[in-house]
Amino acid sequence: MQCIINRRAQFSASHRYWLPELSEAENFERFGPTARAPGHGHNYVLYVSMIGELDEYGMVLNLSDVKHVIKREVTKDLDFSYLNEAWPEFEQTLPTTENIARQIWLRLAPHLPVSKIQLFEHPELWAEYLGNGMEAYLTLSTHFSAAHRLARPDLSFEENSEIYGKCARPNGHGHNYHLEVTVKGEIDPRTGMIADLGALQKAVDDYVVEPFDHTFLNKDISYFENVVPTAENIAVRIGQLLRSPIRELGADLHKIKLIESPNNSCEIYAADLDAADVARQQPSAALAGI
């Protein structure tokens, strides 16, 4: 029987986004404040996922052995380091979150059955690497506050209350929504980036946070005049809004996760949005004469 196990580790390090072949003005235009000398630091949190068969002792691996491998191959070098100079690989490709995750995989894969590397630069930014060449995932989290009412306009108050309960009350209610946007793309071999992080943050702010924040979704967002703003439908709409802007940045939207409350959340994958669009564009069997 196969099982996935996870081991957590952490290290503190600094880095700088700076390409010597660019001028100072070009570096600051490209990387913003992260180009400042001598760099800036983070408390990184690392999760190493490993897959394997359960042995006679009920383990995939001895976690004590795993701990020592991670320390020997990764954290010994990276903890309290200046990442740009910690490993030779970071001289060629900048130590972005996504590239650090990839390089950690490459260091650990000869010694452990790694299935995923997840690296948190801070609680609102993390990367995942699954061993697929230069492909990686980057997640940015943010939040907005909004009110909504769950009620279909074609149903009576009693019918809506039967379906949506207290959420159908006429004056609505509000949430502090927590949003996670995950993009997928190829790590640039020089900058180490899937997409420009500042541009990605701006796209999320411009297309979602600013329009949605402190609104009554049913009344202030035209899309929800006839679409019930459940967490699921809000996530779908956010995905629709972000697909094209993210594509223009050279990456692809992978997933939207919307946390409505500590008890409720939903996830929408961009591939399902694309499939739904194709289905809507295709004629029905009857119209096609099938």
| In the chain, % of residues over pLDDT 70 | 95
pTM: 0.92
pLDDT tens, position by position, 80-122:
999 999 999 999 999 999 999 999 999 999 999 999 999 999 9
> DSSP of the chain, one letter per residue?
-EEEEEEEEEEEEEE----TTS-HHHHHHHHGGGG-SS-EEEEEEEEEEEEEE--TTS-SS-HHHHHHHHIIIIIHHHTTEEHHHHSTHHHHS---HHHHHHHHHHHHTTTS-EEEEEEEEETTEEEEE-SSTTEEEEEEEEEEEEEE----TTS-HHHHHHHHGGGG-TT-EEEEEEEEEEEEEEPPTTT--SS-HHHHHHHHIIIIIHHHTTEEHHHHSGGGGSS---HHHHHHHHHHHHHHHHHHTT-EEEEEEEEEETTEEEEEEHHHHHHHHHHHHSPPTTTTT-
Structural domains of the chain ordered from first start: 1-132 (3.30.479.10), 134-290 (3.30.479.10)
Q: Which residue has the higher pLDDT, 206 or 287?
A: 206
Catalytic residues: 167, 214, 260
**Confidence bin at 274 (pLDDT 50/70/90):** confident
Give mean pLDDT, residues 45-59: 95
